[in-house]
Amino acid sequence: MCDTLVAVGNSTVDGSVILAKNSDREPNEAHVLVHLPRQKHPPHSTVKCTYIEIPQVEETYEVFLSKPFWIWGCEMGVNEYGVAIGNEAVFTKEPYQKEKGLIGMDLIRLALERSQTAYQALQVIVELIDRYGQGGNCGFEHPTYYHNSFILADPNEAWVLETAGKYWAAERVKDVRSISNGLTIGETWDEASPGLVEHAVEKGWCKPGEDFHFARCYSDFLYTRLDGCRPRQCRSTELLKQCAGSIDAAWMMRILRDHGPRAETDPLWDPSRGWIMDTLCVHASFGPTRPSQSTGAMIAHLSSEFVTIWATGTSATCTSIFKPLFLCGEDFPPMGRTPTGKYDPDTLWWQHERLHRQVIRDYPNRIAVYREERDALEREFIQETAEALKSCRESNQAERAQVLTALSRRCFERSIQATHSWIEKVAATPLHKAPSRLFSLSWRSFNKRAGFPEI
């Protein structure tokens, strides 16, 4: 389960477009940050996606991907043209294709590698869906099947694309917009697949002559209700509108860390509360209604001049730090080995789990140990990035790449050093308020399955 949000130029502080997403996956499903350069491919070559091979294009663009380690595609990403995409699982009345095909994460990567605008990316996705369908297991340890919705953005505009099998509707974003794990497009849209309304009438989901509502007609009521998408989507929309006209990357970070209005007023709030995933920063717990948590986060700050990617590369957005990355032909900072679903201290993602899994043992007291220091460090990263981008305005491409790559490496090094310091501080902080018993039992099970050291 995930949340994706976007603000276009009339709602941001600098006229840019800003897309943000939390990726909610299983607790041990490590996220990895990947950089792929622009590449040319031989004629008639194919590309192996998560499950199937499809024809490759002549050239693929430079991309940043934030992805579950085992999936070919990505949960969110950005390309060299400033096209950024995030997807959501949605549950619909259309049958799920369980045979192997393209999954939503594959569709994101394929669109990023092949598109120069958000609208072109939309066209790539709907053409691929029409040709190959959406099919295959999307779960790590627990088989999961679903359809997808997307927000697609570039420095000039953004689109929402929502699908139900091979049927889809799309609308252009006017100011701010968010999507969660449910269909949101209603009676109006800008583009749609052929037969969208007629198919719903044929299935008996609406009557001829009645007002057609895409979300109402195509949504699976039970799963859409149980996944907590409505309160999350309402909350993200509320927070976007609250700052409309002055939204920046820092405000998007604030939204992705949000735990809802209860947490704002209750200093003793802890993530063990609740039965469904109804907060934007999600924490896994017991039972089928809280199987996932925020395992990675990304903010894409898209302007015609510069594209800045802010990524955590780590789990639990409220315990993580955003670092800047840039697509300028250079390799990303070293992040250790590629993580898997088993504990590995030589990977960025699992290093941070030593902090995250200590914090949630007494969340209100332990997050307070380093939150202000983390926020101050993040503000420094934002300021240093703004200064670096300003200095690069008159630079050539090689000089710009050198400056921005060095900045990114420094920020990653400082965040890793800070994380190790925070691990020690948090571990030395006595436990005052234990989380619920079911929450604790769940995390003992997650830890055991990952081979995570006892804490």
* Residues ≥6 apart with Cβ < 8 Å to 93: 164, 203, 205, 217, 218, 219, 220
Give the torsion through C-alpha atoms of 258, 259, 265, 268, to 10 deg. Answer: -130
Catalytic machinery residues: 2
Which run of H or E residues covers position 40? strand 39-40
User: For position 277, what pLDDT does the model report?
Assistant: 86
Total number of domains in the chain: 1
Residue 418 inside a domain? The answer is yes
- The answer to whether 224 and 181 are in contact (CB under 8 A) is yes
10 Å CB burial of residue 211 (0-12, 13-18, 19+) is: exposed
CATH number, residue 135: 3.60.60.10
Is residue 387 situated within a structural domain?
yes
Q: Are 151 and 91 in contact (CB under 8 A)?
A: no
What pLDDT is recorded for position 207? 86
Q: Are 339 and 69 in contact (CB under 8 A)?
A: yes
Give 241-294 as a DSSP string.
Answer: HHTTTSB-HHHHHHHHT---HHHHH-TT--TT--SS--SSS----SSTTS--EE
443 within domain boundaries: yes
Does the residue 455 lie in any domain?
A: no
Q: What is the pLDDT along the chain (455 residues), one digit of tens a residue?
A: 789 999 999 999 999 999 999 999 999 999 999 999 999 999 999 999 999 999 999 999 999 999 999 999 999 999 999 999 999 999 999 999 888 899 999 999 999 999 999 999 999 999 999 999 999 999 999 899 999 999 999 999 999 999 999 999 999 999 999 999 999 999 999 999 999 999 999 999 998 877 899 999 999 876 667 667 899 999 999 999 999 999 999 999 999 999 999 998 998 999 998 888 899 999 999 877 889 999 999 999 999 999 999 999 999 999 999 999 999 988 899 999 999 999 999 999 999 999 999 999 999 999 999 999 999 999 999 999 999 999 999 889 899 999 999 999 999 999 999 999 999 999 999 999 889 999 999 999 999 999 999 87
Range of the domain at 59: 3-450
Give the DSSP per-residue string, 8-21. Answer: -GGGBSSS-EEEEE
> If you search the block for the tokens 């049927």, which residue do you land on?
167
The answer to whether residue 111 sits within a structural domain is yes
- Please tell me the distance from the alpha carbon of residue 386 to that of residue 379, in angstroms, as a whole number: 11
